[in-house]
Amino acid sequence: MVKICCIGAGYVGGPTMAVIALKCPSIEVAVVDISVSRIAAWNSDQLPIYEPGLDDVVKQCRGRNLFFSTDVEKHVCEADIVFVSVNTPTKTRGLGAGKAADLTYWESAARMIADVSKSDKIVVEKSTVPVKTAEAIEKILTHNGKGIKFQILSNPEFLAEGTAIEDLFKPDRVLIGGRETPEGQKAIQALKDVYAHWVPEDRILTTNLWSAELSKLAANAFLAQRISSVNAMSALCEATGANVKQVSFAVGTDSRIGPKFLNASVGFGGSCFQKDILNLVYICECNGLPEVAEYWKQVIKINDYQKGRFVNRVVASMFNTVANKKIAILGFAFKKDTGDTRETPAIDVMNKFDWDHPIHLQPMSPSTVKQVSVVWDAYAATKDAHGLCILTEWDEFRNLDYQKIFDNMQKPAFVFDGRNIVDVDKLREIGFIVYSIGKPLDP
Ligand code: NAD
């Protein structure tokens, strides 16, 4: 029986390994982590992450061929294939601080693999890492002094939070990069054999190591760039009377462009886009390409601008001050269908307000922002509020009883839709003053 071990039981490691275990009953999969509480949660009925369909997958194979454990060394030692899916945040100190990826967790995982291994292994980069990371990892692994051979593969993960299980069941593509040596090609084939249990052959792409590593950064940069492009257009729409929904639709029907990822919003968030673009910027700078670095920096600049523009619009609309006013925030996660609040725009928006009165948040998670109280119901959050900001596109916010909300709010009652999900005309009929990103302002 092939044994797989995944180091890192997070948003990527947990769901990807659960799906591998489900689709490959003949493979034993162990997901290991240094976080005792995270592993305890994976072994309980309350999984550590919320992802539609995940509970079901885990229930079907946990204890059968899927195991969650803190015994990292034992499972690494026993595995034929070791995935490394640890976090790779932006460095906060030292060389490259604020841009470069912090590979501390990766390096300690690689050193531990070298230390505990007693047999040859394939080591798979599942985390998003800078291009050429495999070279550094190879150095650590090959100098193990025991004659053990390691093959490094890059197999970046393209799942999106909120649709992770769907994405893993039917990936657009699985990308595997490896060395162009016979050993490298053999390792690629071994990983292909795993995915071939459910992914059609033409969707499994193989490249050299550096192309695979760079493709992940490139994909995230392109996706974020589309969001910043449409957000930049939204500002121009507001200035000219155009409607960004109509513009996006018109632009997206061009088959060369396509309709996805063209929704104007308060800005992108989450733990990946900004960090991966900063990483790309740093790599460009290190490779003597400042103009290319500058190009990608603009994607983040527009994203920050969009969040600031939203807050300015809220404050300006409410007679230039939010002092002594109550503002209800609907949504705290960085997107719908996830409980992940890492780098959510909601936090940036709240921090940009000059608060001097409580704000109510709904739903998902408590916050560290001062003068914030959390409630779990949109009607309670909006009671006596002067304004209401929609910051996550949860479906339930589309279908609230806005008449009831209006009746319970202070007047004039403002709605600021940072996700373009409300029916603006209907809300204006009720009596709200409505701002929806990129749409014509109140007459
Ligand atoms: P995460 O923070 O949710 O999980 C990482 C886990 O690794 C943590 O539980 C941590 O305790 C564990 N860990 C760190 N060092 C360890 C060690 N030495 N031994 C054992 N466990 C260790 O992160 P994530 O969101 O799953 O992301 C992981 C990687 O995947 C990142 O590089 C990220 O950029 C990339 N990625 C994330 C997404 C996403 O949507 N979250 C999508 C694609 C790729």
Amino acid letter, residue 271:
S
Helices (H), 253-289: 273-286
Domains of the chain: 3-199 (3.40.50.720), 243-443 (3.40.50.720)
pLDDT tens column, 75-109: 999 999 999 999 999 999 999 999 999 999 999 99
Percentage of residues in the chain with pLDDT exceeding 70? Answer: 96
Backbone angles phi, psi at 378, to 5 degrees: -65, -35
Question: What gap in Å lies between CA 204 and CA 171, rounded to an integer?
Answer: 9
Ligand 1 mean position to 341 CA, how many Å? 15
Chain segment 137-162, per-residue pLDDT in tens: 999 999 888 899 999 999 999 999 99
Active site residue 272: yes
| 87 marked ligand binding residue | yes
197: which 2 tokens? 């249990």
Specify the pTM: 0.95
Residue 274 annotated as binding site: yes
Question: Could you report the per-residue pLDDT of 198-256, keeping only the tens digit for each?
Answer: 999 999 999 999 999 999 999 999 999 999 999 999 999 999 999 999 999 999 999 99
Q: How confident is the model at residue 361 (pLDDT cuts 50, 70, 90)?
A: very low
Q: What is the pLDDT of residues 24-75, one digit of tens each?
A: 999 999 999 999 999 999 999 999 999 999 999 999 999 999 999 999 999 9
Q: Is 189 annotated as a binding residue?
A: no
Catalytic residue among 6, 272, 284, 389: 272
Check residue 227 and give left, alpha or beta (phi > 0: left; psi -120 to 50: alpha).
alpha
Longest dimension (CA), the chain: 75
Q: Which residue out of 43, 129, 271 has the highest number of ligand 1 atoms within 8 Å of its CB and is therefore the one to mutate? A: 271
